[in-house]
A and B are shown apart, each in its own frame.
Chain A
Amino acid sequence: MGMDTQTMEQTFAQYGRTIYRLALQYTRQPPDAEDVLQEVLLERCRRTEPFQSPEHERRWLLRVAVNKSRNLLRTVRRRPTVPLDEALAEYAPAEPSYRALYEAVLSLPRDYRLTVDLYYYEGYSTGEIAALLGAREATVRTWLRRARLKLKELLKEEWDDDQP
């Protein structure tokens, strides 16, 4: 198990936060996001084919994370979510304006949340996001536009749409 452990630990160190954050945006349930992350790490260890580049590996991991999250939602009942329950509150920033942004993003519909996260945190283009989520690029652009409008409505002057 030595090689498996090393690969898993390296993947966790390098991509664990990204995968977990994406899974959390998908499921809004930390225990489910933890399960998704563990499943992604196991899939990574099972893969024998080498990656073409570090970016190739990153996108592969994110696609697996999206698929695992989607499968989890298919077979496990989804309960109505609350905007900031105790479990999500532990990750919220203390500074009020950042906390407002954190809460606002988590209140968005799932597809908007994922698009915003991949766009603003990971820096992917709408075309790359479409490939990761299995959607059409035009659809992703719509999600991003609507997400920005919603964030502007919720955050007002705290969200500058003229900024990247």
Chain B
Amino acid sequence: MKKLMLGNEAVARGAYEAGCSVAAAYPGTPSTEITEYISKYDEIYSEWAPNEKVALEVAIGSSIGGARSICSMKHVGLNVAADPLFTVSYTGVNGGLVIMVADDPGMHSSQNEQDSRFYARSSKVPMLEPSDSQECKDFVKQAFSISETFDCPVIVRLSTRVSHSQSAVELSDKEDYKLKQYSKDANKYVMMPAMARKRHVEVEKRMAALREFSNESRLNKVEMTSKDIGVITSGISYQYVKEAMPDASVLKIGMVHPIPEKLIADFAANVKTLYVVEELEPFFENQIKKMGIKVIGKEKLPIIGEFSAQLVAEKLLDKKFDSQEASNNAVPVRPPVMCPGCPHRGMFYVLKKLGLTVSGDIGCYTLGALPPNEAMDICVCMGASIGVAHGLEKARGADFRKKTVAVIGDSTFIHSGITGLIDIVYNKGNSTVIILDNSITGMTGHQHNPTTGFTIKGEPTKQVDLELLCKSVGVDRVTVVDPFDIKEFEKVVKAETDADEPSVIISQRPCALLKHVKYEGSHRIIQDKCKKCRMCMKIGCPAIVEKGDHLEINPALCVGCKLCTKICGFGAIERAGE
């Protein structure tokens, strides 16, 4: 039976068919749906972990415990999980262990464009890369088998266009995988210097065996046509090459680490001109050049951003395409915005009004950096807002600190913000941290987290009490406030930034997109009362617009959160009649 599936959904299906029984992840675009789809299979235990490091550690534990296990994350998540990755490469596995990592060339929803293939090489772990949904399923199943055959974790690399493209997948039955025996083996699983030295020898033996395997494996395949042009490629780039250069011979690499050196040498010997088409870094190219083979790659193709079939044809075949971009000059850009009813809007209004320096973090609220609020100075990575605020204080002193706050979402705070807060308390900092508690992990599309009180399957569970947590690490000043109570919010921010001790403000209001959040519906501007002072526009709500000589509220967008009614000094906004 064939089914249309997202790449991410096909990964989940592959895990299911392989008899995988434990899955852990932290959400991150473009990887999130893998674990969301896995959670729909009752045969697989699944969880949202507090961060990627914990997720991988859970998967390592279940693998050692004998279960086929999968752990999924976005590219930057692998940075967080890198510590266990490098050592599980030494311990090896018991039940198969597959690590899914989704890169984001073009940065559709990311803060950098890193190429995860280097992790495979530096941690000495094999890596596979599928190019469509069918391969997503097939490669995940093969990854489990390689993991067990070679006693190592296997990384499967995706990219946005593979993760988020749907194509047809042939479904198969679930394998009847039996939990493997667990037996204590300190020489394999306790990585102290004496044991690790021996394991490193095993790792090098394994890599040598995998290099042979790569040459023989059907994961790598040659599609020979003409002898004029040969292209070595992998993943989504393969699709662009097939589209743009139907006459070229292609070596499609499915096992991107270790690369199939013999296969590459044979292929190179059979074509006149050899290209490497790979997004981001010259990962294959540099290795192929090191083999002494003449190959053209980054001298023609960009190192930045996504490819397309057109780009490949332009750069390698010198094809010209009519560019009509001039006609587009008049089209205003449409950057993403905080949704109508977003609780963060009230908070950013206050922070901007007070002219504070804002150390930001990763989530929907990063949009506070864009106009009209522009109320964010710095944003680096998950959890960084708090450490950065502390560093600002240590560099610039108390006066600067009193005009500075860190802002961080509930899920991000649990991910890696709590350690920063402990640092502030321990090292006598006095910064103010605002935790945006919107009852969900927002940007990635509503996943539960330890502060929501529900598991990935929606089952009730213990809920981390943010107030109690902050107090317990030594923050005495913890205030909970509604960001739509603008006056009170402003008062609290002033008082807490002014205090000469660390403080936490929990800005509490649920995400407007949550099903249980019911606002009363769209509002309108009473034109007779409106003085056109434009105060309501300062909150940057996409529903409030200027039409001709007056302001109005777009009824298709307004949810009725009433934030604007609190800003309007003339009572000119009211509930719209039916």
Q: Do A and B make up one complex?
A: no
